[in-house]
Amino acid sequence: MDRRNFIKAGALGAVMTVASPISFSAYGNPTRRKGKSGRLNLSFDPYELQLRHAFNLAKSQRTTTPDVQVKIEYDGLTGYGEASMPPYLGESIASATAFLSKLDLSQFTDPFAIEEIHDYMDSVAPDNCAAKASVDIALHDLLGKIMVQPWYKIWGLDPRKTPDTSFTVSYDADPAEMRAKIDDAAPYKVIKVKMGLNHDKELVEAIRRCSDSPICVDANQGWTDKEQALEMCHWLNEHGCLFVEQPLPKEMYDETAWLRERSPLPIIADEFLQRLPDVRRAAQAYDGINIKLMKSTGMHEAHKMAVLAKALGMKVMIGCMTETSCGISAAAQLSPMADWADLDGNLLIANDRFDGVRIVDGKIMLNDRPGIGVKILK
């Protein structure tokens, strides 16, 4: 075995230990409030997120995002979670509420049984990733409140290492609306550009007339010719781009590997992967991965994915859907592990229900509230 393979084998051996289910024995036996039930009680309500601006993607446009708000109560404490479901995920309020209605969490008397609860959810239905994420986030919020610690501290992460978040801008044919979107991005140090339409260069040029901030590009599978994709990567490199996310359809695996070998910019997987088993295959065609709680079934598996990606020498991005500060604050607990973050989903909506993580001078600022760090707005 050569030195490179020896090192990689050692890293993969380490990740199997690190990424295994968290042992809470290191924290002792946390003092739990004595309540009436001693069992987990799940409740949920549909909620529609209202976008501040129309979201124009390579294959769709929308002004709202379906969402389900979730609570788990246990011994006088409440954990909050949510499922945000953009149409491309194949989930809806109907499918999420149908799945959540099938769950009987009252059979669990120990909220620390995260792995067991995930196994149970997978046994109820194999998919429904966003719905499972809502339960996972609420469970982590609850556990953090039991331990009276935020999750970044439970994971041993340094809050000073949180990255700047990008702010997303999509194309609009109306010049005034386009300018309004660019103005909204002014306080942020990185601008994320949604591409894959017929106006990709026009969008970048419009931004460059107003800002010299670095940009990152999300093509949302909108490019279908590898040669043209390579040409765009070179052009973007000359216009201050940091990386390109999902340039080709996820089915074009070999073409993506070809592009990665030739691109001057890192190629990041988004739609290509959802859960932990996808990370190893992504490593053969992509330079990094975009981890989103709504795809990975929540914080538990997202943490494992980040650890494995790092061991494989990949870049890690923590991303989001359009979400309230509940989902964003949950994802932000992982952000000290990330090379890049795209956690602006709560900034893109007009009806946030929570106060949570803040963005100060473009940088993610974690708070010391226990759990995922949120409180409900009155």
Could you write out the DSSP letters of every residue in 19-56? TSPPPGGGG-S------S--S-EEEEEEEEEEEEEEEE
For domain 153-376, the CATH class is: alpha beta
pLDDT at 216: 96
Contacts of 244 (CB under 8 A, 6+ apart): 216, 217, 218, 219, 232, 233, 236, 263, 265, 266, 267, 268
Equal fold, 27-148 vs 153-376:
no
- Taking only the tens place, the pLDDT of each residue in 344-354 is 999 989 999 99
For 39, other C-beta atoms within 10 Å of its C-beta total: 17
Nearest to 243 by CA among 224, 222, 261, 268: 268
> Rg of the Cα trace of the chain?
20
Contacts of 288 (CB under 8 A, 6+ apart): 243, 266, 267, 268, 269, 309, 314, 315, 316, 317, 339
Percent of the chain with pLDDT over 90: 76
DSSP alpha helix (H) spans, 103-225: 114-124, 129-147, 151-154, 175-184, 200-208
Strands 77-84 and 61-74: antiparallel
Please report, as a single letter, which amino acid is at residue 369: R
At which residue do the structure tokens 């975009």 appear?
A: 290
- Taking only the tens place, the pLDDT of each residue in 36-71 is 458 999 999 999 999 988 776 655 677 899 999 999
Largest CA distance in the chain: 64
- Taking only the tens place, the pLDDT of each residue in 247-277 is 999 999 999 999 999 999 999 999 999 999 9
Domain positions in the chain: 27-148, 153-376
pLDDT band at 233 (very low <50, low <70, confident <90, very high): very high
Residues in the chain: 378
Residue 317 near residue 345, CB atoms below 8 Å: no
pLDDT at 20: 41
Q: What angle is formed at CA 158 by the lines to CA 154 and CA 162, rounded to 5 degrees?
A: 115
SS3 assignment, position 85: coil
Does residue 98 have a pLDDT over 70? yes
Angle between helix axes 299-311 and 325-332 (nearest 10 degrees) is: 40
Right CATH for 27-148 from 3.30.70.360, 3.30.390.10, 3.30.300.30, 3.40.50.2020 = 3.30.390.10
Residue 77 near residue 48, CB atoms below 8 Å: no
Class of residue 143 by CB neighbours under 10 A (exposed 0-12, middle 13-18, buried 19+):
buried
pLDDT band at 180 (very low <50, low <70, confident <90, very high): confident
Stretch among 113-127, 165-179, 355-369 having the lowest mean pLDDT: 165-179
Please give the model's pTM, rounded to 2 decimal places.
0.88
For 292, other C-beta atoms within 10 Å of its C-beta total: 26
Query: What is the rounded average pLDDT for all residues in the chain?
Result: 89
